[in-house]
Amino acid sequence: MQGHAVNSTVIGGAMLPYAPQFFTMPETEDRDTVERVRATAAEIGARLKALAPDLWLIFSNDHAEQFFHQTAPPFTIHVGDAAEGRFAGRNFRWEVPSEIGLELVRQLYRQGFDPAFTSVAKIDYAMGIPLTHLGVGDPVLPIYINAYLPPQPTMERCYAFGQVVARIVTAMGLRTAVVASGGMSHFPGTERYPHPELAWDKAVMSQLGTGNLKSLIGWDEAALDAAGNVELRCWAAAAGALGERKPDIAALEPSWHHNYASLGFFTPPPEARDPHYPAIKPELVELTTALHGLAHDEDGRAEYLTDPAAYAGRFRLTPAQLTALLGLDTQALAKMGVHPLVAFLANMQVERQRKS
């Protein structure tokens, strides 16, 4: 195989919605919709727990509670021994693997990122609801991403941040489940609150459903704001950590004020396939040089057309390579690992000159 990357220890993950209404349940909420969202998250949680991860990690935004008017770092990692919070009469508390959090900060500093870190940040419903719906009781490492206060980190930066996080936990040998909260379209506190962008969300979900998670980085700040999807920065970080893989579960549940999207990932990413246009293998340098000459050297082609064996004798070729060169079978050459474009051009130019 060509271009293999180091196998990631990110074994799965989830991208899940949250809304205060999930716990407050006002009369405006459709009970069936909320129950479907909860049941989907519970299924995702059960399947992730069956993978027995060493580390649970969640990317989430803060609701102008802790990282706002005093300081607003793009990324903040919890390094305390526990994270707590309250919402709608519920108490949240998860132990935090603080040593892992501190090591993550250290390694991120060494790899070009400068996250803030905290020992006392709270968990609000952006983390509390997805983790509750998943049924996670193990320690969780919270990572906060600034989604609401401009200037926010770009989607490209969030994706790259997730990639580096994945490399670090892989180097640490930690089988990791990555959770992102947020999404999809909603406009809390604005006149557009009753009008989420369902068509936009469906288009994004169709891309994610194919496994094209990197498509998230194509959205800039203005597009995210216009669609009510500023929280997808958290999804972009998770996408970077997960890499390109199809979700095993994907559901979109619209409501009057918020489109609830849920994705679960339990299957490893596919093996990298050989590209159509590979690098030149050392053992094919001589054959490639011979083909390159046929493609771009008129005198070489003339010699080949007059005496193919003499032309081929200029190169150190194996018997199989010699046969392939003399036959100029482009498909056979490609199967040997020769760059198809070079073989194609060589054959095209030889045939053109043969007929001239």
Listed as ranges, residues in the chain with pLDDT below 70 are: 1-6
> What SS3 class is residue 114?
coil
Sign of the torsion angle spanned by Cα atoms 140, 205, 267, 275 = negative
24-49: b (≥16 Cβ within 10 Å) or e:
eeeeebeeebbeebbebbebbbebbb
DSSP 230: T
Instruction: Express each pLDDT in 114-123 by its tens digit.
Output: 999 999 999 9
- What is the pLDDT at residue 159? 98
Q: Does an H or E element contain 91, and which?
A: strand 90-95
How many residues are given for the chain? Answer: 356
- Residue 139: left (phi > 0), alpha (psi -120 to 50), or beta? beta
Q: Which residues contact 315 (CB under 8 A, 6 or more apart)?
A: 286, 287, 289, 290, 325
Q: Which two tokens stand for residue 122?
A: 């709270």
Single pTM value for the model: 0.90
In order, the DSSP letters of 11-29 are: EEEEEE---THHHH--TTS
Q: What is the pLDDT of residue 4?
A: 36
pLDDT at 279 (0 to 100): 94
